[in-house]
Amino acid sequence: MAFDNDEVLLSPFTLGDLKLKNRVILAPLTRGRAGEERLANELMAEYYSQRSGAGLIISEATTVSAQGNGWVNSPGIYTDAQGEGWKTVTNAVHKAGSKIFLQLWHTGRASHSDFHGGELPVAPSAIKIEGEGLHTPKGKVLHEIPRALRTDEIPGVVADYKKAAIRAKQAGFDGVEVHSANGYLLDQFLQSKTNKRTDQYGGSLENRFRLLSEILDAVSEVYPSGRIGVRLAPNGVFNDMGSLDYRETFTYAATRLNDYGLAYLHVMDGLGFGFHKLGEAMTLKDFRGVFKGPLMGNCGYTEESAEAAISNGQADMIAFGRPFIGNPDLVERFRNGWPLLESDPSSWYLSGDPAKGYTDFPSYSPSTANA
């Protein structure tokens, strides 16, 4: 579907049974403000409320189990206390007039034994991330060779996603997004580079898709399918990803996802997380050709390129990440042609005052336009 006007980004959109006030989406952004107990809190509620001009908010990645942890001070949703903490956030967002989905996360091999009392992180196969390392509660460390999940452990992982969805629903989230991108556990199962299994979860495209399929089946017992999204990253090299058969893999996955009647497919089509250069980058056009539901683009979009993607029918919504960090009133800036503020990357993650670089960005006024 193509549009004739130049303001489609700010036009309403019907997402299943949800009415979104615009097509600007707050992308999931890991910000590390949940503390050691991984509890959503009042500061996080303020942060999300400030950005509720978005038609839909997708929460920062939120772990479905202690086993899934792999980022300092990121939130969880695997305890009752964590579920209660998120109610503060959902209430604030709803009061501000937006909708919010919780992104369900398991880091898989992109974790470290420091997060797990000395136990190795888990993965589809015992293949180490090659890279600079990661930050843990003990400081920056090198990646380890993960432990391959046993076949009989996988139903427990699926159950963790279902339990997390139950807590998300109790906490008031309008839906959930299953994070199957950026080199985390479900992406690791999907891609041939990281999945060398010989059981029913490895080898063929069907087998590598199986874990995502089982998780969607489980989560669909909690939320209707029209309240569930999935995120994919076909081009990214983040967390040492990139498979020779990436086009075949992600075309297959997008085609299979038609079976679920999803709220949307969220595609990291930009190259801001690196590009594996194993062929031409996959675009929204590639996914539009095989996925029949609502399509969301993400990574590196400007207002102009987002307008173009929606106007030409390649996308229905566009998610913005970094522009939303320094511009809590991003939608109003788009609407009025106001300039955008640049945020300092050194403040994106917790260091000292938790509000600094988080909730202290001003809304637009002439006096702050060049601040």
Residues acting as catalytic residues: 184
Residue with tokens 């788009």: 334
Bridge partners, 229 (sequence order): 177, 264
**CA 223, CA 231: separation in Å to the nearest integer?**
17
Question: In this structure, are residues 194 and 204 in contact, taking their beta carbons and an 8 Å threshold?
Answer: no
DSSP H helix total and E strand total for the chain: 10, 14
- The angle at the Cα of 218, spanning 214 to 223, to the nearest 5 degrees, equals 135
Which uninterrupted H or E stretch holds 154? helix 154-170
Side chain identity at residue 26, one-letter code: L
**CA 40, CA 31: separation in Å to the nearest integer?**
11
* Token pair for 367: 């006096």
* Token pair for 242: 């990139």
Side chain identity at residue 316, one-letter code: D
Distances (CA, A) of 368 to 12, 131, 339: 29, 39, 10
**CA 192, CA 215: separation in Å to the nearest integer?**
19
- The angle at the Cα of 38, spanning 319 to 328, to the nearest 5 degrees, equals 35
Question: What is the secondary structure of 242-302 as a DSSP string?
Answer: --TTHHHHHHHHHHHHGGGT-SEEEEE-SSTT----SSSPP-HHHHHTT--S-EEEESS--
Distances (CA, A) of 294 to 224, 254, 318, 342: 16, 12, 11, 30
**CA 71, CA 107: separation in Å to the nearest integer?**
8
* Token pair for 171: 């906490």
